[in-house]
Amino acid sequence: MTEANAPVTQDVLTIPRKLPETGKVNLVGLTREQLRDALIEAGTPEKQAKMRLGQVWQWIYYWGVRDFAQMTNLSKDYRALLTEKFEIGLPEIVTRQVSEDGTRKYLLRIAGGHEVETVYIPEEGRGTLCVSSQVGCTLTCTFCHTGTQKLVRNLTAGEIVGQVLVARDDLGEWPEPGQPKPEERLVSNVVLMGMGEPLYNFDNVRDAMQVVMDGEGISLSRRRITLSTSGVVPMIARAAEEIGCLLAISFHATTNETRDKLVPINKKWNIAELLQALRDYPRLSNSERITFEYVMLKGVNDSDDDARRLVKLIRGIPAKINLIPFNEWPGAPYQRSDWERIEAFADIIYKAGYASPIRTPRGEDIMAACGQLKSATERARKSKAQIAAEAGL
């Protein structure tokens, strides 16, 4: 294996849908088409399949029902059939931590005993759910805690949708029959910024987002979903075409030399190739700007020259730049840039005509901030020296 393609090896697996524990098929995360097929295979007459699909879909995703017995517009026999063949299976909450600032972090157990983290961030008038797409990550960005986790597997679409359902359950965000719909949503936005590289688990992420966007269920608009990628160039256009969501790019450096170290996938697709893919992004427009995420690392990527190079590089791309003060984790080989440095950097970007919000770290006291996620399945950490060596420090 050459070094250039080493960081992007995809030796990951997706656990089959039929769970060995129960032998039942989990309906959560099936696309409409897959759900229809499953219902027919279980004995639903084809002529009724469309109607049954609509009913079951609404119970699961509109009303948040978890038990077939509560699906009261279905006959008793049909409910019994569904109970026999299927389940509405959600990840199990192992721990739930609530930060001083209201951020909630869930550690969830999924099939095979693996664990992932999901973070809910309440804000004024909105709430963002940060969803994981993989257990761990095959990429090894040197500033990211998830990147130090060795075990990696893709999440199923059901496990991705399941994170949204778990959060809505915990927040009590399902309509009450006969009650008016609340104006404000608790989970109003979904960001694919948890553990994993979503574009390395594309099909499952796409199917999951189709379920989340479906107008007869959770009904989240495509503009309220943001997919963050470290730069899997060949898959970027498909995110626009098949999901239609907004895009965020983990940019983090303005020269290939530095980006190679911070975001090793850059060795495979460099800055120029990445920017070209963004210029070609099918949904690019002023109202749907691309977010450039830029983690501020002291003395590494935070100089005035970096800021100037950054605005020069992205010229012509409708963009906003999100500056993320580095979130430390035990053994991390970097430090957060000083606040004055971050502000000076932001100022250069702002004067060049870009919005340059500095992301306030949320949930730091419970290690829920960006890049701090790492599940307990695999706590065995690389040594500080090992990480530093890999970072080329």
Of 87, 115, 117, 293, the catalytic one is 117
Q: Is the dihedral of CA 263, 269, 270, 272 positive or negative?
A: negative
For position 154 contacting ligand SF4 by CB under 6 A, the verdict is: no
Of 44 and 291, CB closest to ligand SAH: 291
Q: Spell out, one character per residue from 63 to 102, where the chain touches ligand SAH: x when CB under 6 A holds, - when not.
A: ----------------------------------------
Nearer to ligand SAH, 24 or 382 (CB): 382
117 is catalytic: yes
What residues contact residue 91 under an 8 Å CB cut-off, 6+ apart?
108, 109, 110, 116, 159, 162, 163, 166
The total of other beta-carbon atoms located within 10 Å of residue 267's CB is: 18
Our answer to whether residue 137 is catalytic in this structure is no
Q: Which residues on adjacent β-strands are paired with residue 185?
A: none
Q: Residue 156 binds what, of ligand SAH, ligand SF4, none (CB under 5 to 8 Å, by partner type)?
A: none
Q: One symbol per residue from 183 to 222: x for binding ligand SAH (CB under 6 A), - otherwise; what is it?
A: ----------x--xx-------------------------
- Please choose, from the candidates 325, 318, 311, the residue with its C-alpha nearest in 3D space to the C-alpha of residue 358: 325
Q: Could you tell me the two tokens for 312?
A: 């020069």
Q: Which of residues 171-190 bind ligand SF4 (CB under 6 A)?
A: none
Residue 363 binds which entry of ligand SAH, ligand SF4, none, CB below 5-8 Å type-dependent: none
The sign of the dihedral angle between the CA atoms of 375, 376, 378, 382 is positive
Residues touching ligand SF4: how many (CB under 6 A)?
11
Under the binding rule (CB under 6 A), the answer on residue 144 touching ligand SAH is yes
CA torsion through residues 16, 119, 370, 186, sign: positive
Question: How far is 289 from 170, CA to CA, in rounded Å?
Answer: 32
Q: How far is the CB of 293 from ligand SAH (least distance, A)?
A: 4
* Beta carbons of 256 and 309 less than 8 angstroms apart: no
Site string for ligand SAH, 272-301 (x = CB under 6 A): ---------------------x-x------
Is 197 near ligand SF4 (CB under 6 A)? yes
Q: Which residues contact 357 (CB under 8 A, 6 or more apart)?
A: 320, 322, 323
146's tokens = 């998830």
If the CB atoms of residues 137 and 236 are measured against ligand SF4, the closer one turns out to be 137
Q: How far is the C-alpha of 371 from the C-alpha of 145, rounded, in Å?
A: 6
CB burial readout 17-53, b (16+ within 10 A) else e: bebeeeebbbbbbbebeebbebbeeeebeeeebeebb
Report the interface residues with ligand SAH, using CB under 6 A: 137, 141, 143-144, 193, 196-197, 228-230, 250, 293, 295, 324, 326-327, 370-371
Residues classed as catalytic: 117, 370
Report the interface residues with ligand SF4, using CB under 6 A: 137, 139-141, 144, 146-147, 196-197, 230, 250
